[in-house]
């Protein structure tokens, strides 16, 4: 019912039954405030049909409508722990079917067992995202199971070796960063391969399935969400130059992919979430039986304006926002409790 239809029905209702209106808020007209059309204001506010009308006018603004992912197929790389697991749970809890990949079968199976909502809602597939032929096989496997891919989260990532950067002389800095036997081209290449090249190859390999999703679902554009990092934004090396440089590259790659995909006329959005500090196998001592990790709250009390590490819910809300918002393309958003404010860009 449109609001003008409702208004007409209320006016008619009041013309007929003004003195005996069953609504308790309706009193004789002369004692109460009325609208220019003679409708008691109190009645207008409480009339059931009007309440219903305003509820239905707002229906598209409810959280269920805004973030509904029912029927969507997603793939989360590195979905067996940390941020990938948070993303997986956020997608599954809002209706999506989620494929998760990683190199460790047991981790993936534990996640599927513990966090599925209904059969086949989380599907574990072993895959090394740093290997082009394995990515190719993954695409073939998913194409044989699904008509399309609606949400791709390139989350799999590794850290590089860490080094002391603070030095009191040029010789000391050289010794820390060059002479150290852990400081190798190989460390840089491995980090880059997983954090950057893999994002490129995974995204380009899935383009046809992603485009299919936009074609099959009018009003929806499929989406790639790249998990970069505030480490690719801040001016400090945080003791791992290679990791930070790789994440800077992830952020730029995100923009390049978004631009080239859009200019080729494909309907696939590409965005990036740059997390601050979240508990994961990378940032803590591994994970528990539930594949969850823990960082003591006070560890970041001084470093982050939020005075705490990120929570599952903080990441989940960001993932849903990027997955559902159809007007977001080419962006990187820091979800960091203010880490970049404190650390400086
Ligand atoms: N946690 C943070 O504070 C934070 C902050 C900023 C950015 N990030 C980024 O968030 C992403 C997730 O990391 P995380 O912190 O959640 O750490 P994590 O718990 O170690 O998760 C990374 C996941 O990626 C998987 N993985 C690594 N290399 C892979 C490969 N070649 N192929 C397939 N899977 C692979 C790992 O599983 P397997 O080893 O079993 O393969 C692991 O489950 C990374 O890109 C990371 O750089 C994290």
Q: What is the pLDDT of residues 97-125, one digit of tens each?
A: 999 999 999 999 999 999 999 999 999 99
Q: Which two tokens stand for residue 145?
A: 């199971």
Residue 62 lies in a domain: no
Of 102, 101, 109, nearest to 75 by C-alpha is 101
Domain co-membership, 147 together with 283: yes
Residues 227, 90: Cα–Cα separation, whole Å: 15
Q: What is the pLDDT of residues 27-81, one digit of tens each?
A: 444 444 555 555 555 545 555 565 666 789 999 999 999 999 999 999 999 999 9
Clarify whether 339 is annotated catalytic. Answer: no
Please give the share of the chain, as a percent, with pLDDT higher than 90. Answer: 82
pLDDT at 45: 52
Q: Is 316 in the pocket of ligand 1 (CB under 6 A)?
A: no
Domain co-membership, 82 together with 34: no
Residue 64 lies in a domain: no
Q: Is 156 in the pocket of ligand 1 (CB under 6 A)?
A: yes
pLDDT at 54: 72
Q: Is 90 in the pocket of ligand 1 (CB under 6 A)?
A: no
Distance 78 CA to ligand 1 centre (A): 6
pLDDT, average across residues 308-327: 98
Domain co-membership, 108 together with 225: yes
Domains in the chain: how many in total?
Answer: 2
Question: By mean pLDDT, which of 12-16, 25-29, 183-187, 199-203 is the weakest?
Answer: 25-29
pLDDT at 113: 98
User: Considering 198, 231, 247, 272, which one is annotated as catalytic?
Assistant: 247
Domain co-membership, 81 together with 221: yes
Clarify whether 115 is annotated catalytic. Answer: no
pLDDT at 23: 44
pLDDT surpassing 60 at residue 20: no
Distance 118 CA to ligand 1 centre (A): 26
Residues 13, 74: Cα–Cα separation, whole Å: 51
Domain co-membership, 199 together with 325: yes
Domain co-membership, 181 together with 38: no
pLDDT, average across residues 267-271: 98
Q: Is 199 in the pocket of ligand 1 (CB under 6 A)?
A: no
CATH code of the domain containing 245? 3.40.50.720
Question: pLDDT higher for 15 or 339?
Answer: 339
Name the residue with the closest Cα to ligand 1, atom 8. Answer: 229
Domain co-membership, 21 together with 147: no
Domain co-membership, 213 together with 309: yes
Pocket probe mutation, ligand 1, options 131, 275, 280, max atoms within 8 Å of Cβ: 280
Domain co-membership, 20 together with 160: no
Residue 308 lies in a domain: yes
Q: Is 103 in the pocket of ligand 1 (CB under 6 A)?
A: yes
* Alpha helix ranges (H) inside the chain: 3-17, 41-46, 48-57, 63-66, 82-93, 105-115, 132-145, 170-174, 185-192, 198-205, 207-216, 241-263, 312-324, 339-343
User: Considering 213, 214, 222, 228, which one is annotated as catalytic?
Assistant: 228
Residue 201 lies in a domain: yes
Residue 213 lies in a domain: yes
Domain co-membership, 100 together with 12: no
pLDDT surpassing 80 at residue 272: yes
Q: Is 246 in the pocket of ligand 1 (CB under 6 A)?
A: no
Residue 86 lies in a domain: yes
Of 37, 57, 77, the one marking the end of a domain is: 57
pLDDT surpassing 80 at residue 7: no
Q: Is 229 in the pocket of ligand 1 (CB under 6 A)?
A: yes
- Domain span at residue 9 reads 3-57
pLDDT at 161: 97
Clarify whether 272 is annotated catalytic. Answer: no
Q: Is 245 in the pocket of ligand 1 (CB under 6 A)?
A: no
Task: Give how far the C-alpha of residue 245 lies from the chain's centroid of Cα atoms, to the nearest Å.
Answer: 23
Of 239, 220, 238, nearest to 230 by C-alpha is 238
pLDDT, average across residues 2-27: 47
pLDDT at 28: 43
Residue 209 lies in a domain: yes
Q: Could you report how far apart the first and last alpha carbons of the chain are, in Å?
A: 52
Q: What is the pLDDT of residues 158-184, one digit of tens each?
A: 999 999 999 999 999 999 999 999 999
Domain co-membership, 80 together with 156: yes
Domain co-membership, 141 together with 239: yes
pLDDT at 300: 87
Pocket probe mutation, ligand 1, options 157, 228, 240, max atoms within 8 Å of Cβ: 157
pLDDT at 199: 99
Residue 145 lies in a domain: yes
| Average model confidence (pLDDT) across the chain | 90
The count of other CB atoms within 10 Å of the CB of residue 153 is 29
């Amino acid at each position: 019912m449109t609001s003008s239809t409702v208004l007409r029905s209320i006016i008619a209702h009041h013309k007929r039954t003004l003195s005996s209106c069953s609504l308790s808020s309706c009193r004789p007209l002369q004692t109460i405030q009325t609208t220019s059309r003679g409708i008691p204001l109190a009645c207008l506010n409480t009339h059931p049909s009007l309440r219903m009308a305003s509820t239905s006018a707002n229906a598209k603004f409810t959280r269920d409508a805004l973030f509904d992912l029912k029927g969507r197929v997603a793939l989360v790389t590195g979905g067996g722990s940390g941020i990938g697991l948070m993303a997986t749970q956020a997608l599954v809890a809002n209706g999506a079917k989620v494929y998760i990949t990683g190199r460790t079968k047991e981790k993936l199976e534990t996640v599927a067992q513990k966090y599925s909502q209904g059969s086949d809602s989380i599907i574990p597939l072993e895959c090394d995202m740093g290997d082009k032929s394995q990515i190719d096989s993954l695409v073939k496997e998913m194409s044989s199971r699904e008509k399309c891919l609606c949400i791709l989260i390139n989350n799999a990532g590794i850290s590089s070796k860490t080094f002391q950067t603070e030095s009191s002389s040029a010789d000391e800095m050289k010794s820390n960063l060059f002479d150290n036997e852990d400081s190798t081209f190989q460390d840089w290449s491995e980090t880059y391969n997983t954090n950057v090249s893999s994002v490129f190859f995974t995204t380009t390999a899935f383009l046809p399935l992603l485009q299919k999703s936009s074609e099959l679902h009018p009003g929806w554009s499929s989406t790639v969400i790249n998990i970069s990092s505030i480490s690719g934004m801040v001016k400090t090396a945080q003791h791992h130059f290679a990791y930070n440089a790789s994440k800077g590259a992830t952020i730029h790659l995100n923009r390049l992919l978004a631009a080239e995909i859009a200019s080729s006329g494909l309907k696939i959005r590409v965005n990036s979430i740059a997390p601050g500090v979240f508990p994961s196998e990378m940032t803590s001592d591994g994970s528990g039986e539930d594949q969850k990790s823990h960082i003591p709250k006070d560890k970041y009390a001084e470093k982050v304006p939020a005075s705490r590490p990120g929570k599952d819910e903080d990441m989940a809300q960001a993932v849903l926002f990027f997955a559902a918002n159809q007007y977001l393309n080419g962006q990187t958003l820091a979800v960091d409790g203010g880490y970049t404010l404190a650390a400086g860009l």
